[in-house]
Amino acid sequence: MALALKAGVSLINSLRLVRNQTRSKSFKKILDTLIDDTNKGGFLSTSLLKYSNVFGELFVNIIKVAELSGTLPENLLYLGDELRKKSELRKKVKSAMIYPLIILIATVVIAASMVFFVFPKILPLFENLKSGLPLTTRLLIGISGLITNYGILILIGFIVLFVGFRLLLKIKGFRYLYHRFIMALPILGRAVINFNMANFARTLALLLRSGVKIIEALTITGLTLSNLVYRRQLEEAAGRVRRGEFLSKYFSEQPKTFPTILANMIEVGENTGNLTDNLFYLADYYESEVDDFVKNLSSILEPVLLLFMGVIVGFIALSFITPIYQLTREIR
């Protein structure tokens, strides 16, 4: 859209250009509505409001400001660049969890295969062992019997717990406590804070650069964040700024959720008039912090998960080998 408008293409034709290269049928229908509304003389931002769940508060408000200020191509260019950076940040976090998930699944599959397919065939050999079975084998027999007899009930129990937890997360109060708990965790909590700080700083900077007033920008930024702790605090921050206080003063009173460096940089920006530039700098800084965490996450989790896998498989193997060794000794 930005490139087409900069090249002198009209808004309606720019929308048609986007529609022609869109593969998604549902998104084509949305674009048809946007083209139809714009063709009738309506504002693009007004039409986008119908699909705010698709485009998001940030997108709609920046388009609205851009239409009023006559800077639609520039703001679309900024918006596209910032959305790309946010998307890359989310992809980095997700990709860091792929390897640990594969290791965990492999451990479960190996353990389940040995317990359900190998162990039942060898178990009859152990029944005549006179000296008694070792502790590891007895534990494995107990676990195997528990899963065999009550496996369906255990599976149903896990499903009920998972579904129940997901339903509880839909309750705003419980989700707020859950987000607060995650932020309090030793290592993961710091990464969650850095991730939210990167999104907060970049969104607020983009809104301010687009001409949105700071109080409205804080409210919109809060709505774009999924973390309810930050949503609530940004609502409070907007109220404090509305009463004439500096934003940095509120942030300095919340050191557990807003790091000191962020409060200090915002204070400098407020005093020098470079708040937007400082926010972009903070966004880059916290994105690099998240990037470093993601890079180190695999190297941290890899030995831990391999050790966990080794312990599980070793325990099962020991449960097999020890009684077989005792059985061969008794036969001799």
* Region of poorest pLDDT, from 42-56, 100-114, 157-171, 252-266: 100-114
Is 90 within a domain?
A: no
Q: Are residue 8 and residue 134 in the same domain, yes or no?
A: no
Q: Are residue 148 and residue 279 in the same domain, yes or no?
A: yes
Q: Are residue 253 and residue 112 in the same domain, yes or no?
A: yes
Residue that is last in its domain, among 85, 111, 135: 85
User: Residue 167: pLDDT band by 50, 70, 90 thresholds?
Assistant: very high
**Residues contacting 195, CB < 8 A, separation 6+:** 89, 93, 286, 290
Share of the chain above pLDDT 70, in %: 95
Look up tokens 């004439």; give the residue: 244
Q: What pLDDT score does 328 carry?
A: 72
Phi, psi of 246 (to 5 degrees): -75, 145
User: Residue 126: pLDDT band by 50, 70, 90 thresholds?
Assistant: low
Number of domains, the chain:
2
Is the confidence at residue 79, as pLDDT, over 70? Answer: yes
Q: Are residue 81 and residue 230 in the same domain, yes or no?
A: no
Per-position b or e across 131-151, b if 16+ CB within 10 A of its CB: eebbebbeebbeebeeeeeee
CA dist 313 and 296 (Å) reads: 26
Q: What pLDDT score does 128 carry?
A: 59
State the average pLDDT over residues 265-290.
90
Q: Are residue 21 and residue 166 in the same domain, yes or no?
A: no
Most confident of 78-82, 120-124, 257-261: 257-261
Q: What pLDDT score does 70 carry?
A: 77
Structural domain including 202 reads 97-332
* Region of poorest pLDDT, from 38-52, 125-139, 161-175, 292-306: 125-139
Q: Are residue 9 and residue 152 in the same domain, yes or no?
A: no
Most confident of 178-192, 285-299, 318-332: 178-192
Mean residue pLDDT across the chain: 84
State the average pLDDT over residues 264-288.
91
Q: Are residue 200 and residue 72 in the same domain, yes or no?
A: no
Dihedral over Cα of 222, 256, 244, 236: its sign: positive
Is 144 within a domain?
A: yes
CATH number of the domain enclosing 6: 1.20.81.30
Q: What pLDDT score does 332 carry?
A: 59
State the average pLDDT over residues 193-203.
89
Q: Are residue 271 and residue 173 in the same domain, yes or no?
A: yes
